[in-house]
């Protein structure tokens, strides 16, 4: 069997190949293709999103290949049409947005993915962003590095709240949201949750109540037609004055113009975001000049453990495929 490892500079080919060799007994014929992400940003390729623009290189590498393990390779209709031997396409990320699932199903190509691979890393980054925004860590570091001692940040009207005793609202309670909730409990915070798909937890409330009661708001939902733009001007205005918003999920969940308005007006004490409506952030974006906004370049899930877990999860499904067993993380259903 020929397997293509189409890794990149995060989920590297060495990690993918080592994981498959550990999971699959016997000899495997590997080919390798190294994609340019994250040195070169992902984007829309053909009809798929968040992919590396390497259709031509991928088509050449997939010649005679039955299984592909990757993170950012674009599984487009064009790639499928040119790759008749392909039967399994493993996307080592939490959502296979870089794969045309319907076209793959029609072509007899099963697609798998790696849910939960970055849950710990993203939860830890969320807490770091929440604390950075509340304690003004990036701003005060920049001031000190520039030789400015900002003692005025110690004034009562300029300091932020503590997590202990505060109410934190979580929108979404999947693998990441649950971990964030556990971490917040260690800080002594009260946690409220809005998630229409869960019903087995304490603190579950409607979105209106969550917004009205939460001094901190952290987003953990997937981007769907129902969740796109779910936190806009009206929702931000419904939060208590001096609140903090964190978004390490998807840029589509949050109205960023409304966020900037609320920061500029002072209604929000601060905000921290790892994801954006357009990535990279375009030159001239008001996000670059809005006060009290902490930003990181979509790297909440960036840890060594995330890359290793991602490779292990997809390798396990490669092994199931080779044994003729049902896949653990199927993203599509083959069409006879």
Known catalytic residues are 250, 279, 298
User: In terms of Cα–Cα distance, which of 187, 170, 177 is closest to 131?
Assistant: 187
With the C-alpha atoms ordered 240, 246, 249, 251, is the resulting torsion angle positive or negative? Answer: positive
Provide the 8-state DSSP code for 325.
P
Per-residue burial over 48-70, b if 16 or more Cβ lie within 10 Å, else e, is: bebbbbbbebbbebbeebbbbbb
In which order are the strands placed within the sheet that holds 293-295? 190-194, 167-171, 216-219, 243-247, 268-273, 293-295
User: In terms of Cα–Cα distance, which of 236, 253, 231, 272 is closest to 126?
Assistant: 272
**Helix 119-134, helix 175-187: angle, nearest 10:** 50
Rounded Cα distance between 296 and 129, Å, is 9
Residue 335, token pair as written in the block: 């069409």
Provide the 8-state DSSP code for 281.
P
Rounded Cα distance between 167 and 75, Å, is 43
């Amino acid at each position: 069997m020929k397997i293509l490892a189409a890794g990149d500079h995060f989920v590297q080919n060495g990690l993918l190949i080592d994981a498959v060799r550990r999971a699959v007994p016997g000899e495997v014929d590997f080919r390798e293709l190294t994609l340019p992400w994250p040195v070169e940003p992902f984007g829309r390729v053909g009809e798929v999103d968040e992919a590396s623009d390497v259709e031509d290189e991928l088509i050449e590498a997939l010649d005679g290949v039955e299984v592909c393990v990757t993170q950012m390779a674009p599984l487009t209709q064009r790639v499928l049409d040119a790759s008749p031997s392909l039967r399994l396409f493993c996307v080592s990320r939490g959502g296979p947005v870089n794969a045309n699932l319907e076209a793959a199903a029609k072509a007899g190509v099963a697609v798998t993915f790696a849910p939960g691979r970055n849950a710990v890393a993203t939860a830890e980054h969320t807490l770091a962003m929440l604390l950075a925004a509340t304690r003004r860590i990036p701003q005060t570091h920049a001031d000190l590095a520039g030789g400015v001692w900002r003692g005025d940040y110690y004034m009562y009207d300029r300091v932020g709240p503590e997590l202990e005793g505060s109410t934190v609202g979580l929108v979404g309670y999947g693998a990441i949201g649950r971990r964030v909730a556990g971490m917040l409990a260690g800080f002594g915070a009260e946690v409220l949750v809005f998630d229409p798909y869960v019903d087995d937890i304490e603190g579950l409330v409607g979105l209106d109540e969550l917004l009205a009661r939460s001094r901190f708001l952290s987003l953990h939902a997937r981007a769907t037609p129902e969740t796109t733009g779910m936190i806009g001007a009206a929702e931000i205005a419904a939060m208590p004055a001096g609140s903090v918003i964190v978004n390490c999920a998807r840029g589509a969940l949050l109205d960023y113009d409304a966020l900037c308005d609320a920061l500029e007006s002072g209604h929000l004490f601060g905000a921290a975001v790892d994801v954006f409506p357009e990535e990279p952030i375009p030159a001239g974006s008001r996000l670059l000049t809005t006060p009290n906004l902490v930003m990181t370049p979509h790297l909440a899930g960036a840890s060594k453990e995330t890359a290793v877990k991602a490779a292990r999860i997809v390798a396990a499904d490669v092994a199931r495929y080779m044994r003729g067993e049902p896949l653990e993380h199927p993203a599509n259903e083959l069409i006879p």
